[in-house]
Copies of this chain bind each other. A is one copy, B any other.
Amino acid sequence: MTYCVGLLLNDGFVLASDTRTNAGVDNVATFKKMHIWEWPAERVIALVAAGNLSITQSVISQLDENANAGSEQEETVRNVTTLFQAARLVGRTVGEVRNAVLSEGDQSSESFSVSFLLAGQIGNERPRLFQIYSEGNFIEATADTPFFQIGEHKYGKPILDRVVTPQMKLSQAVRVLMISFDSTIRSNLSVGLPIDLMVYRKDALSVELNRRIEVDDANFAEISAKWSDALRDAFAHLPDYRW
């Protein structure tokens, strides 16, 4: 499985994805699931992916190839004028890749399920965050629901539900992501370190942080350990249920 989260804040956005893939528990590997296109002072577009790796990799390769080809007739992540157009482009590409795979082989479309989070800012447009489904359709994050999760999302959802608001600082958003990932990693073997983390500050039009949090990352370990301690401490000080 996979776990990816995107938070859309007044100050920008934060994206994170784990890197574990598995085809059975004895076939585990590390793959980057985050791709960032950055043309400084002009646009930043980031995509994280969950689901069938052959499909998600093909979608990203296709988008990347088209962007680098520099075509002006064809829409690419290089030349779309809004992030909504970028989301439509990703959705179309998902459809094309799936159809190509399906027409070539097995028709059991279930195993080709994928999902994406797309975040970015293009020029003067505000930063935006989209979740794109297997069928190529998508939804956009709003102030009411400022975060999306894809993949193994349930373990890490309670803390996001309690804490996330659009008013959070980017540093707080990174902290809550760490906790959400930590909870998921502890409870589910199919999600694992390293984590790819990206931070984008509104109107910067360049990536503020693009870091791989490795297994031995001392800062992550510190947050994880202190969170565990704080939880146990909070638990110990709760009132009893009386009977």
Contacts and interface: CB of A to CB of B under 8 A. Distances in A.
Interface string A230-241: 111111011111
B234 A175 contact: no
A230 B241 contact: no
A155 interface: yes
Interface in A17-70: none
B157 A232 contact: no
B155 A157 contact: yes
Given A157-B155, A163-B231, A211 B243 contact: yes
Interface string A199-234: 100000000110100000001101100111011111
A174 interface: yes
A223 B238 contact: yes
A162 B234 contact: no
A242 B218 CA distance: 11
A101 interface: no
Nearest to A156: B158
A235 B155 contact: no
A158 B183 contact: yes
A186 B159 contact: no
Interface in A75-100: none
A154 B240 contact: no
A194 B10 CA distance: 38
Given A155-B154, A158-B186, A187-B161, A222 B239 contact: yes
Given A155-B155, A155-B158, 13 more contacts: A154-B154, A156-B158, A158-B158, A159-B235, A161-B186, A176-B235, A211-B243, A223-B238, A223-B241, A227-B238, A230-B234, A230-B238, A231-B234
Closest 8 interchain pairs by CB?
Answer: A154-B154, A230-B234, A158-B183, A174-B241, A209-B243, A171-B240, A157-B187, A154-B155
